[in-house]
């Protein structure tokens, strides 16, 4: 079974065909928007906001609102609560490092299903 598909389409579609994804670890939402605008102007086609800072959720929402045509996702997502927060903030994709199938409850959102599909393919 191909787990790379979500209800709305493939992970590739969520990334907008981007070959390179810039990873941001912003300390403020304003810094994230500034960096994302500069990256987009330079040709980057997708941005991941790493959930490693206290500002990550707000930064993801700010970038998603400021640049609606730029695929923005969440990275370093390690809990189901972060998956839900990322989806609510406007994430189009989620990257989950070092998670296992036993760690995940039944997927509550499309974002977590996409994350599980990514992990399954990465084994």
Domains in the chain (CATH in brackets) are 20-122 (3.20.20.70)
The HSE-up count of residue 70 (CA atoms within 13 Å, CB side) is 30
Higher-confidence residue: 91 or 4?
91
pLDDT (0 to 100) of residue 10? 66
pLDDT digits (tens, 9 = 90+) for 19-43: 788 999 999 999 999 999 999 999 9
Q: How sure is the predictor about 8, in pLDDT bands with cuts at 50, 70 and 90?
A: very low
Q: What is the pLDDT of residues 84-105, one digit of tens each?
A: 999 999 999 888 886 555 545 5
pLDDT (0 to 100) of residue 84: 92
pLDDT at 70: 94
pLDDT in tens, 9-22: 566 677 767 778 89
Q: Taking the model in full, what pTM does it have? A: 0.71
What is the band of 80 on the pLDDT scale with cuts at 50, 70, 90? confident
Question: CB atoms < 10 A from the CB of 28, how many?
Answer: 14
What ranges in 1-123 are assigned the alpha helix state H? 11-14, 29-41, 56-66, 80-89, 110-122
**pLDDT one-digit tens code per residue, 62-72:** 999 999 999 99
């Amino acid at each position: 079974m191909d787990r790379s598909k979500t209800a709305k389409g493939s992970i590739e579609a969520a990334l907008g065909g981007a070959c390179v994804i810039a990873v941001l670890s912003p300390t403020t939402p304003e810094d994230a928007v500034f960096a994302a605008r500069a990256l987009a102007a330079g040709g980057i086609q997708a941005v991941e906001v790493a959930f490693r800072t206290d500002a990550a959720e707000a930064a993801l929402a700010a970038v998603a609102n400021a640049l609606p045509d730029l695929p923005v996702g969440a990275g370093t997502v390690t809990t189901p609560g972060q998956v839900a927060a990322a989806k609510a903030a406007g994430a189009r994709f989620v990257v989950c490092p070092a998670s296992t199938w036993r760690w995940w409850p039944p997927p509550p959102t499309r974002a977590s299903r996409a994350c599980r599909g990514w992990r399954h393919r990465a084994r």
